[in-house]
Amino acid sequence: MADTTKAKLVYLDYAAATPVDDEVFAVMLPYFKDNFYNPSALYLKSKSVRTNVEAARKAVSRIIGAKPTEIIFTSGATEANNLAITGIFNDHPGSEGLYSSTEHEAVTKPMLEKQVKSTSISVDKSGKVDLIDLRNKISFKTVLISVIYANNETGTINDLAKIKEIIISELDDRKAKKNILPLYLHTDASQAANYLTLDVNRLGVDLMTLNGAKTYGPKQSACLYVNRNVKLKSFISGGSQEFGLRAGTENVPNIIGFAKSLELASNLRSKESSRLKELQHDLEEELLKLNKNIVINSKSKKRLPNITNFSILGQDGERLVMELDERGIMAATGSACSANKDTVSPVLKAIGLSDREINSAIRISTGKYTSKDDIEYLVQVLSDILI
């Protein structure tokens, strides 16, 4: 086994987790000890903490073009997705749901575990939702459609505004037929926040999940945007926090850190997107030169600038990731949440890849600490491995 103690360390799995930014960490620190007070208490110190929590809520709402009362802080994106999906179905028993076939498990599992009929929507070879299939699968009982904003394995970006147009047309038909059942659009925007607009009005979403663990904030920090016209039934009881939708004492440090991370991401969005797009272009050009058996799986023209998914035909993806790790490079075969399961990636399967292509796939996801030298080192190491 290679000696990894002297290897250069290169982290290329930002889609799985991002390090906490120094500025984020700095604003969080006081709330662990000096300002530890419960925001719900009545004394002045607690009221001061409550004021800061509400300032964080206001900051998040401003970034996404919402109202502060439409922001629900949660313990992570998984909880936010569950609150959106379970909350809708609990309020509309006997209804139906649709979800794209490239969703994260945090969406597909609550969709399928509820006692409702949930159906997947097909995607094209680039991973974008098939709008015709979506339109055809909406029934008079459908109340929720969940479509990921930007995919965590391929980086493919969905056109949420076009999906909203289909929903509006369906609602017009329902009105004419005196069907009063609502139809909501939810999106998991966890991977999108660093690089894409989050304006909920432009996107046309009714519910949106954001994840601090992907924006250089703390893990287990997130929020769910809930349009004021959407009614949810909470599944966590025990208190009236978060407008009655999420019982439990607020995790103040994480809330403060999450809001700061989102603010920094918003400020750096344009600059970082351009920089990482150049690195992505360089990486993919070099990969295709490196070996004739390398195929780029991220084919969409509209995709995140920090994700490249490729296959090296004839190789085993997991073995390659371990060999890269021995040389100090941290990469992935797919979603970190399902990496330890001996199953074929449902995302890559949905876009039409064969088992051979999927089993040899590697995901490289870059971030704000990734340099050109890191990319050159990756290409060099892959060249050495494949000799």
Indicate if the alpha-carbon torsion angle 314, 316, 322, 325 is positive or negative. Answer: positive
- At 148, is the secondary structure helix, strand, or coil? coil
Q: Is the separation of the CB atoms in 282 and 65 below 8 Å?
A: no
| Euclidean distance between CA atoms 320 and 280, whole angstroms | 20
The helix or strand, by DSSP H or E, that contains position 209, with its residue range, turns out to be strand 207-211
Structure tokens of 163?
A: 């999906």
Distance CA 117, CA 133 (A): 17
Q: Report d(CA 165, CA 183) in Å as an integer.
A: 12
**337 a catalytic residue:** yes
For residue 120, the number of C-alpha atoms closer than 13 Å in the C-beta half-sphere is 16
Spatial distance between the Cα atoms of 359 and 82, rounded to a whole number of angstroms = 30
CB 238: neighbour CB atoms within 10 A?
A: 10
Element of type H or E holding 363: strand 361-365
Give every CB contact of residue 209 below 8 A, 6+ residues apart in sequence. 77, 80, 81, 84, 186, 187, 188, 189, 190, 222, 223, 224, 225
Number of Cα atoms under 13 Å in the Cβ half of residue 206: 23
Q: Which of 2, 67, 337, 383 is catalytic?
A: 337
Instruction: Tally helices (H) and strands (E) across the chain.
Output: 12, 12
Within 13 Å of residue 382, how many CA atoms lie on the same side as its CB? 26
Signed CA dihedral, 161, 165, 168, 174: sign only = negative
> Which sequence positions are flagged as catalytic?
337
